[in-house]
Amino acid sequence: MAKIVLGVGTSHTPMLNAPVTDWTRFIERDSTRDHLDKEGNPVTYEQLKALAGPAMEAQLEPGLLHSRHAAALAHVDMLGKTLREGRLDALIVVGDDQKELFQDSNMPSMLIYHGESIRNVPLKESGAPQWAKDASARYYEPAKPRDYPVDAALARHIIGNLVEDEFDLSIADQLPDGFGEGHAFGFVHNRLLNGTLIPVVPVFLNTYYPPNQPTPGRCYRLGQAIRAAVESFPGDARVGVLASGGLSHFTVNEEFDAQVIKALREKDAAALAALPRRQLNAGNSEIRNWICMAGAVDALSLKSLEYIPAYRTPAGTGTGLCFAVWE
């Protein structure tokens, strides 16, 4: 039978696509957007800065930023090497779509893509500053669209099994003309696989947008059901499962991240399911992708997990970077 042999969790923030000299430039964007505090309450940037206090300045010391940036890129390289050398026949990628493909007029809670290939296209023009466009561009093709292979047979098998398990799924087998996969999936193709062609099965979760975000418990059960479906797939395929995104952002919350990491280390499904949904909004919402992946790899052992609180402004915004491998 087919078997899940590898689990990977990775942050995918544009901070990982930018030089360290640009990390503090994110204030240009963070200072003009609305935020959530660590409890999930709406706040302005200035309110968040007041909550962070003057001690936050120490987190922006250049030497500390450089060491964290270097460590983060080393972990990205390690995950890429693990995937490329994992002898995988397929890679299930669990990610979210931030209105790159799906809009309020049609926002699926859970969707599995089962086309023969999935397209990645160059970054569309925007009014963002050049440094921000350079970071975003690394999720996408540099010059022209490219189609990446999908394990359509495995995807359709998983869909069929999940329907039997009474999951109400959305499905898709093509993308609209002119559109390509979002950043959660582009990070995998263009930063981790970096040209290595492993057929993927894209699993989209609506982590971001109320009112139909799946609950943490539902995400974990989805992962478990995906594992069961893989194990009933004919043949001896070696399958990996990857969670793309997270942990806390745009407000870095080290305490909440530690709570998530503890549950992952201890395979505590109940603790993952009990994570407060109020704290699983905005960027934090991508923790749902990790919860789903955890359900799929619950039979594997945690090999490594590294966490880096990557602050970028005096308000404590940034990303709780996390990189993990289960085997």
Instruction: Give percent above pLDDT 70 in the chain.
Output: 100
- Percent of the chain past pLDDT 90, that is, above it, reads 98
Residue 91 has pLDDT above 90, yes or no: yes
Do residues 183 and 289 touch, judged by C-beta distance below 8 A?
A: no
Residue 207: band (very low, low, confident or very high) from pLDDT cuts 50, 70, 90: very high
For residue 126, the model assigns a pLDDT of: 81
- Average pLDDT of 77-87? 98
Rounded to whole angstroms, how far apart are CA atoms 66 and 246?
21
Residue 83 tokens read as: 């995937």
Flag whether pLDDT at 22 surpasses 90.
yes
- Per-residue pLDDT reduced to its tens digit, 259-292: 999 999 999 999 999 999 999 999 999 999 999 9
pLDDT beyond 90 at 60: yes
Residue 64 pLDDT: 98
What backbone torsions phi and psi does residue 322 show, to the nearest 5 degrees? Answer: -145, 140
CB 290 within 8 A of CB 246: yes
* Local confidence band at 294 (pLDDT 50, 70, 90 cut-offs): very high
Dihedral angle sign, alpha carbons of residues 38, 41, 44, 49 = negative
Quote the pLDDT of residue 127. Answer: 82
Give residue for tokens 């990189």: 323
DSSP SS3 for 302: strand
Please state the rounded mean pLDDT for residues 78-99: 98
Phi and psi at residue 290, in whole multiples of 5°?
-65, -40
Residue 254 has pLDDT above 90, yes or no: yes
0.95 exceeded by the pTM? yes
Instruction: Report how far residue 170's alpha carbon sits from residue 107's, in angstroms, rounded to the nearest whole number.
Output: 10
Per-residue confidence band for 70, with pLDDT thresholds at 50, 70 and 90? very high
Query: What's residue 1's pLDDT?
Result: 85
pLDDT surpasses 90 at 44: yes
Mean per-residue pLDDT, 6-19: 98
Quote the tokens at residue 321: 């970077």
Whole-angstrom Cα distance, residue 173 to residue 324? 30
Q: Residue range 8-35: average pLDDT?
A: 97
State pLDDT tens for residues 101-143: 999 999 999 999 999 999 999 998 888 899 999 999 999 999 9
Task: Indicate if the pLDDT at residue 200 is higher than 90.
Answer: yes
